[in-house]
Structure 1
Amino acid sequence: MDCLSSMTKSDLERMLFDETAEPKALPLSLLAEITNGFSDKQEIGEGGFAVVYQGMLNGGKVAVKRLSKTHLYEKEFHREVECLMMAKHKNVVRFLGYCADTQGSAERYNGKFVMADVQRRLLCFEYLPNGSLDKYIIDTSRKLQWRNCYKIIQGICQGLHYLHVKRIVHLDLKPANILLDDNLVPKIADFGLSRCFEDIQSRVFTQNIGGTLGYLAPEFGNGVITYKFDVYSLGAIITEILTGEKGYHTVDTVVEIWSEKLEKSHSDIQLQQVRVCTEIGIECIDSNPAKRPDTQNIIDRLNEIGSMVGYMETSVITSQLVESSLDELHQDRPKTPEETSFEVSSSLKVSLIIHKFQIPIHICYPLLVCCLY
């Protein structure tokens, strides 16, 4: 997997703006160039196994992740590249390419010069300016409105569902590994601990399970990896988004917290969303993996409450529109004695409004039925 690519800065920029472009091998020289030699000034993040730099292109930016202690984590690097090459979804960070560079270097050892292989392992991604989700949970000055919270929860669930359909288990899902774009669209990142299952696999036995306490499923000590590992982490994240802190909270407690924050005009609708999200979060962190819902079940429930809310909001807008428009029609009616005897039927009024505002038929049909009876 050594980097012998002839990719240039312009090539990488074209890839960045072409959503259909496949990830490619990238030369070390290119990644060094766009990060100003991996300058400290370009550093935007640091973890236990890697440092992340901002890479500057002529018309855009990328994120370059340089792994440390590569000789210890060669398997993890290959595993991460394997998973990232398979994952292409709006709620998964976009992978642009990798570099696996190995060069010989003369080093002094026991008073003699010996040739040693120097390994450099790097990954390149889209740059996401709003950073990670944990900053929005911890920093009270950046508190999110419910509409954005719900969108983030829904996006994380959709991203995780996609990964599981692709037979990818993330194994380190947490707010610090959820990045946000300009529009606060969440994207799952950091696949260093991930595993790719075979077609008929539903579990893997291993002696080494990594992860982060607080998001790590309680059965991690059994040495068995399943999709339900990620579901537990998802539940912990949802709870933290809803409450701002880790740990169990009852549904009523969470609903009460949000009832004091929401605008009255939308509170009933949004509190329904809060309730459903809280219930999902609680079910996901059940100590029994068999009782945790799968991602398809979660997606179905979120879609159901989302469509119901959309219908209710549209119905409210439509009914208000009808009332105001009927008032306009009434005010515009002629005032002569002969003309005042002319009456416009309710069904005709609604028909005129439907035509004027191009209201969808599935919404306006109940209004017409009401006018006929």
Structure 2
Amino acid sequence: MQRTRDDLEKKLHDSNTTPMFFPLEFLKAITCDFSTESVLGEGGFGVVYKGVLRSGKVIAVKKLFEIRLKEDTFQNEVRYLMGIKHQKIVQFLGYCAESSWEAIEQPSGSGKFIFGELPKRLLCFEYVCNKSLDNHISDESSGLEWNMRYEIIKGICNGLHFLHEECHMVHLDLKPENILMDSTMIPKIADFGLSRIFGEQQTRIVTDNRAGTCGYMAPEYLIRGVVSNKADIFSLGVILIEIITGDRDYPYFHHDRSQRDATTFQQFTEKVR
């Protein structure tokens, strides 16, 4: 393990290294056995931990919930992320896919145990220190300067264009919580668990569970299962409204609120011309 850890840490310091497999024991070591003190955040599919290397370099380790784990979703995300490298996309460093046999008490409460195989699935990413976009946009975007808002919008569009045109991928869960901000407020798109790759195909109909986040899902996808780049563009539009006005529900409130937000949008466009 000592030699393996040294080799892995050396590779993690190489910016040109390709995503790789990480043993579970290595990830336990750098996260203090997934301690609560190492938790960076929690989402619908797992908990993200801070992994600290001996050099002090930090990476993010996402441990997927076993009870909600879908093997095809995990494999899809790994497969999609392996070939993506872009400054507006969070950098994928590697994965862990191991299983362990553990004694599990039967739910009847009889005190009897059965042995079950529990999958351990983890994803490792670059550590992005400035939290996610949702922490920076509320109450008219928390006072962010107009030029900063414009640069954030431009960065998200840049990353999304790369996904659509170069990777032929639809994200399908684009929202502020899945856009990470670095120390200079550069946005990085993250969380590709629901993404789909199309190849040359432009539109697809899905009949399985249409997962996503209410408020950011395009109507044609939510109602009829139509998946295309336009689904992400709808989500992007909602995010733009939030960045500009600080509120996702624009303009469906009272007249005075709508009038105020219209004025805010006009000021924004004038500032960034």
1:111 deviates by 6.2
Residue by residue over 1:298-329, the C-alpha shift from the partner in whole angstroms, topping out at 9 and shown as x without a partner, is xxxxxxxxxxx6xxxxxxxxxxxxxxxxxxxx
The corresponding residue for 2:244 is 242
1:221 deviates by 1.2
User: Runs (4+) of structure 1 moved beyond 6 Å?
Assistant: none
Matched, 1:63 2:63: no
The corresponding residue for 1:88 is 85
The corresponding residue for 1:138 is 138
TM-score (norm 1): 0.64
Matched, 1:256 2:263: yes
Q: What 5-or-longer segments of structure 2 have no aligned partner?
A: 253-257
The one-letter amino acid paired with 2:61 is: V
Higher relative contact order, chain-length normalized (CA < 8 Å, sep 6+): 2
The corresponding residue for 1:98 is 95
Instruction: Count residues with an aligned counterpart.
Output: 262
Contact 1:173–1:230 (CA under 8 A) maintained in structure 2: yes
Matched ranges for 1:1-373 at <5 A: 8-57=4-53, 58-70=55-67, 72-107=69-104, 109=106, 114-138=114-138, 142-165=142-165, 166-219=167-220, 220-249=222-251, 254=261, 256-257=263-264, 271=270, 273=272
Choose 1 or 2 for highest CA Rg.
Answer: 1
Contact 2:140–2:243 (CA under 8 A) maintained in structure 1: no
1:208 deviates by 1.3
Cα distance between partner residues in 2 of 1:175 and 1:140: 15
1:255 deviates by 6.5
1:27 deviates by 0.5
**SS at the partner of 2:164?**
helix
The one-letter amino acid paired with 2:263 is: E
Residue by residue over 1:129-152, the C-alpha shift from the partner in whole angstroms, topping out at 9 and shown as x without a partner, is 100000101377953111211111
Contact 1:27–1:99 (CA under 8 A) maintained in structure 2: yes
**SS at the partner of 2:136?**
helix
Q: What 5-or-longer segments of structure 1 have no aligned partner?
A: 263-269, 274-308, 310-373
The one-letter amino acid paired with 1:45 is: G
- Hey, which of these two has a bigger chunk of helix by percent? 1
TM-score (norm 2): 0.86
1:249 deviates by 4.5
1:168 deviates by 1.1
Cα distance between partner residues in 2 of 1:97 and 1:6: 19
Cα distance between partner residues in 1 of 2:50 and 2:120: 18
% identical equivalent positions = 47
The one-letter amino acid paired with 1:136 is: H
